[in-house]
Amino acid sequence: MEELDFLKEQNVSGELIRSIEEFRKNYGVDEAAAARVTRPSIPFYGKEILEMAIAGLLEGENLLLAGPKATGKNILAENLAYAFGRPVYNVSFHVNTNSGDLIGTDTFVNNEVCLRKGSIYQCAEYGGFGILDEINMAKNDAVSVLHATLDYRRSIDVPGYDRIDLHPAARFIGTMNYGYAGTKELNEALVSRFLVIDMPAQTEETLGFIFNKMFPDAKEKAVEQFIGVFMDLQKKSVNSEISTKSLDLRGLLAAMKIVRAGLSPLAAVKMGVVNKTFDIFEKEIVDDVVRTRIPEEWTKEDVYA
């Protein structure tokens, strides 16, 4: 099965892969939600993390992916949903996210009051994978909705309407960063409803897998230097020499893409990485790191065969 190739390539347990195939056979996808089953733009690499996540989801558990920026939390969530063949429902928590956004709100249709279903309601109805992004920014009003949804009851009370039970294939994957502005400690009651995976930092091996998968026509030397940029910035971030603003894997991958269009590699990396910080002193540090890896005279031909 093509959707599971990235698991086989990493020698993920054959028993787990067979269980996913059985899961996919048992739970089809409603036509109304089929468009939400999408191929991730970036593959996830990490056999141990994948096996832990898959085992938990197969047993009906929800996952909480915790770790700093650029550890692949959302990428992992998207890859898991694709492997299991489930529609994805994204919920980005922020100060204005409330229970109405999750469950739904009243609206008028043909002069009648009806429920405009929220993302959590739809996820429960169609057996989707709900990705709860930055869950540690959620207000108490929003968190209270999740309690019954995430525990053994697997149900949602919809005020003024009815209670709905979650589709047996529905799962929820929360993500949280440490120390972001607006974040808070999750209460024990909410954490107890998840299995927690501590996401490790990127390594040269994991980045090599991602770059080689996404850019098979790139030159080995160029890939090494692009990976080196990320690793150098990650080290400086860990040592508190710079913030995490420029530690942007998506930005670095986007830079690789736009080099294909003919833009110089240095200019592309400036757009994808250097310019992500607006502090002039930090930008100088990041720019110096990039220039030691990406020569100014490089062109598209130096990156792609």
Predicted pLDDT at 172? 95
Q: Beta 104-109 vs 112-117: how paired, if at all?
A: antiparallel
Is-contact 152 6, C-beta < 8 A? Answer: no
Q: What is the pLDDT of residue 108?
A: 62
| Dist. CA 195–CA 101, nearest whole Å | 25
Percent of the chain with pLDDT over 90: 70
- Answer yes or no: are the C-beta atoms of 289 and 232 closer than 8 Å: yes
Start-to-end C-alpha separation, the chain: 30
Question: Which residues neighbour 153 within 8 Å (Cβ) at sequence distance 6 or greater?
Answer: none
pLDDT at 278 exceeding the cut of 80: yes
**pLDDT at 228 (0 to 100):** 97
> How do residues 110-120 score in pLDDT, each as one tens digit?
667 666 788 88
- pLDDT for 183 beyond 60: no
Q: What is the mean pLDDT of residues 247-251?
A: 93
Mean pLDDT, residues 231-251 taken together: 93
Look up the pTM and report it.
0.88
Section 272-283 average pLDDT: 96
Does 109 have pLDDT greater than 90? no
pLDDT value, residue 162: 74
pLDDT level of residue 80 (50, 70, 90 thresholds) = very high
- How far is the C-alpha of 205 from the C-alpha of 167, rounded, in Å? 38
Q: What pLDDT score was predicted for residue 77? A: 97
Model pLDDT, residue 184: 64
What does the pLDDT look like over 131-166, one tens digit per residue? 999 888 877 777 777 877 888 788 887 766 678 889
Distances from the Cα of 295 to the Cα of 251, 265, 266, 287, angstroms: 18, 8, 7, 12
pLDDT for position 265: 97
